[in-house]
Amino acid sequence: MTRRQNRMLLVALLLFGVFSAGYLGIKAFNENLLYFYTPTDVANGKAPIGKSFRVGGLVEKDSVQRRDMMVSFVVTDNNKSIEVNYEGILPDLFREGQGVVTSGSLTSKCVKNWFGKGCKYIFLATDVLAKHDENYMPPEVAAALEATAGKE
Amino acid sequence: MWKWIQRQSSPKIFYQTCANLTPWFFWPFIGFLVIGLYWSLIVSPADYQQGDGYRIIFIHVPSAILSMMVYAVMAIAGGIGLIWQIKMAEVVAKVSAPIGAAFTIIALVTGAVWGKPMWGAWWVWDARLTSELILLFLYLAYMSLNNAFDNPRTAAKSSSILALVGLVNLPIIHYSVKWWNTLHQGYSVGTGGLKDPDMQIALALMFVASIFLYALLVAIKAKTEVLIREQNSRWVQEEVTGAVS
C-alpha cells in the first residue's frame, strides 16, 4: 500500500467513525432534541408531567376566548387536543388554524356540574410562540386555496 | 480538462487562474444581485400572513444554504489536501472558512430578526437553530486552529481533520426539521412551499448571486494567501515588485 492510499484509508475511517458516532448520539438523545410535545404525546403520558415543558400544535378554529389579558384556546394535532390558558401578549402570527408552540406546565381543572364532578388537564402557558409553516403565498392564492378547500 | 485541473496545483498557475476568473465571478454576481433584489423587493407579491416581512427569506435562505455548501467545500478541499498533499486545496479550504462563517452569521441574524415579530422570540434552542449555531462554532474553531501553527502545512493538516469531523453536522442541520419537532418551519424549497412563481424566481436569482459572491471572494482571498505562502519564490517577488513599479 502506498502512503497516499494509506492516508485515503485513514480519512475514510475517520469519516466512518465520526458519522457512526453521530448516528448513535442522535439515536440516544432523540427525546431531548424534541423542541415540543404534541397533544397526543401529552395524552399518552409521554410528556414530563409536573415539570415545565412545551406543547405544540394547531390552534383549533373558534376556540380562542379572551378576557382582559387572559386568553384561552385549544391546541390540537388533529388527533388529541388540550386546552391552554395564557396571560400576556400574543405574537403577530397567532391566529386560529395556525401553528403554535407554548411552554408551561399541566394542571388539572375540576368542574362540578349536574352530572357530577369532572376533571380535565389544562395547560398553563407562561410563553406562547407562533410556529410558521413552510408556505409562502400572495393573498389571492391563499383565498383561492381556501375556496377550493371549502368545496371539498 | 483533467490536465487543466492538475496544472492548478502549481501556485503560480493557480494564482493566475484566480486573477483571470475574478471578473467572470464579479460581473455575474452584480448582475444576479441587481436583478435578484429587484425581483425580491418589487416583483414578488407580499405574503398572505406576513406581509412584506417574509422577504427576508431572499437573504436568509441563500445564506443558510451557502453556510452549509461552503463548509462542504472547505472539508472536501481539506480532505484532498490531506490525501494528495495538494497545497492549493489547502489554500481553498483556509480562505473558505471566514466566508462560510460570515454566511452563517448572516443566516443566524436574519433569522433572529424575522423570528422576533413572527414567532415572538429572537432565539429558541430548537434543533435547527442549535445545529446552525454549532456550525458557526465549527468555523471559528477551524479558523483558530489554522492560525495556531506557524507552519501552514501543519496548520492545514490539523484543521482539515477538524473540518472532516465537523462534516457530520451538515446532515443534522439539513434534516433537523424533519427528524424532530422544531419551531423552525420545514422545507419551503423543493416542496412547493413557495406558492408564487415570482417568489421562486427571486429566491433562485439570489441563490445564484450568493454562489458567485462566494466564488469571487475565494478567488480574491486565495490570491493573497498564495502570495503569502510563496513569498520567498522568485515569481512572487517579480509579481509584487512589478505591480509596484
Using alpha carbons, select from A55, A124, A50 the residue that is nearest to residue A87: A124
> Which residue of chain B is at minimal alpha-carbon distance from A5?
B83
Whether the Cβ atoms of residue B207 and residue B62 lie closer than 8 Å to each other: yes
Q: Is there a contact between B183 and A131 if contact means CB atoms under 8 Å apart?
A: yes
Question: What's the pLDDT score for residue A115?
Answer: 65
DSSP 8-state secondary structure symbol assigned to residue B51: B
CA distances from B187 to A132, B128, B177 (A): 12, 12, 8
B172: CB partners within 8 A, 6+ apart: A22, A26, B127, B131
Residue B244 reports pLDDT greater than 60 = no
Phi, psi of A107 (to 5 degrees): -135, 160
What ipTM does the predicted assembly reach? 0.76
What is the spatial distance between Cα B229 and Cα B104, in angstroms, rounded to a whole number?
Answer: 27
What is the spatial distance between Cα A122 and Cα A110, in angstroms, rounded to a whole number?
Answer: 10
What is the spatial distance between Cα A75 and Cα A59, in angstroms, rounded to a whole number?
Answer: 5
Higher-confidence residue of B148 and A117: namely B148
Residues in chain B with CB shorter than 8 Å from the CB of A143 are 48
> Which residue of chain B is at minimal alpha-carbon distance from A101?
B183
b or e along A88-104 (b: 16 or more beta carbons within 10 Å of the residue's beta carbon)? eebbebbeeeebbbbbb
pLDDT digits (tens, 9 = 90+) for B77-107: 999 999 988 889 999 999 999 999 999 999 9
Q: Is there a contact between A136 and B47 if contact means CB atoms under 8 Å apart?
A: yes
Handedness of CA B148, B154, B156, B159 (dihedral sign): negative
The residues on B that touch A, with CB distances below 8 Å, are: 45-50, 54, 57, 79, 82-84, 117-121, 124-127, 161, 164-165, 167-168, 172, 179-183, 185-188, 191, 193-196, 199
pLDDT digits (tens, 9 = 90+) for B130-155: 999 999 999 999 999 999 998 888 99
What is the spatial distance between Cα B62 and Cα B205, in angstroms, rounded to a whole number?
Answer: 10
Question: What's the pLDDT score for residue A107?
Answer: 81
- Domain locations in chain A as residue ranges: 1-33, 39-151
pLDDT digits (tens, 9 = 90+) for B102-127: 999 999 999 999 998 888 889 988 88
Whether the Cβ atoms of residue A58 and residue A100 lie closer than 8 Å to each other: yes
CATH code of A39-151, in short, is 2.40.50.140
pLDDT digits (tens, 9 = 90+) for A24-77: 888 877 777 778 888 888 888 787 777 888 888 889 888 888 888 888 899 988
What is the spatial distance between Cα A126 and Cα B176, in angstroms, rounded to a whole number?
Answer: 26
Largest CA distance in chain B: 63
| Domain covering B24-46+53-217 assigned CATH 1.20.120 in the classification | yes
pTM of the model: 0.87
Distance from CA of B166 to the nearest CA of A (A): 8
Handedness of CA B189, B69, B15, B141 (dihedral sign): positive
Q: Is there a contact between A133 and B185 if contact means CB atoms under 8 Å apart?
A: yes
Of the pLDDT bands very low, low, confident and very high (cuts 50, 70, 90), residue B76 is very high
Whether the Cβ atoms of residue B166 and residue A15 lie closer than 8 Å to each other: no
Residue A152 reports pLDDT greater than 70 = no
Q: Is there a contact between B186 and A134 if contact means CB atoms under 8 Å apart?
A: yes
What is the spatial distance between Cα B222 and Cα B227, in angstroms, rounded to a whole number?
Answer: 9
What is the spatial distance between Cα A74 and Cα A63, in angstroms, rounded to a whole number?
Answer: 6
Handedness of CA B182, B187, B193, B196 (dihedral sign): positive
> Which residue of chain B is at minimal alpha-carbon distance from A41?
B181
Distance from CA of A88 to the nearest CA of B (A): 12
Nearest neighbour of A19 by CB, restricted to B46, B168, B186? B168
Percent above pLDDT 90 for chain A: 0
Q: Is there a contact between B83 and A4 if contact means CB atoms under 8 Å apart?
A: yes
| Segments in chain B forming alpha helices (H) | 2-7, 11-38, 57-84, 87-118, 127-147, 152-166, 169-179, 197-229, 234-244
Question: What's the pLDDT score for residue A117?
Answer: 66
Whether the Cβ atoms of residue B169 and residue B131 lie closer than 8 Å to each other: yes
pLDDT digits (tens, 9 = 90+) for B39-62: 999 999 888 888 888 899 999 999
Q: Is there a contact between B119 and A132 if contact means CB atoms under 8 Å apart?
A: yes
As a whole number of Å, the end-to-end CA separation of chain B is: 36
- Domain locations in chain B as residue ranges: 24-46+53-217
> Which residue of chain A is at minimal alpha-carbon distance from B78?
A11
Q: Is there a contact between B168 and A139 if contact means CB atoms under 8 Å apart?
A: no
Q: Which H/E stretch holds residue A6?
A: helix A3-29
Whether the Cβ atoms of residue B132 and residue B104 lie closer than 8 Å to each other: yes
Pairing mode, if any, of strands A116-131 and A81-87?
A: parallel
Which grid cell sits at A80? 388529541
Question: What's the pLDDT score for residue B245?
Answer: 47
Higher-confidence residue of B195 and B163: namely B163
Nearest neighbour of B194 by CB, restricted to A35, A130, A136? A136
Instruction: Report the amino acid identity of residue A33.
Output: L
Q: How far is CA B138 from the centre of its chain?
A: 13
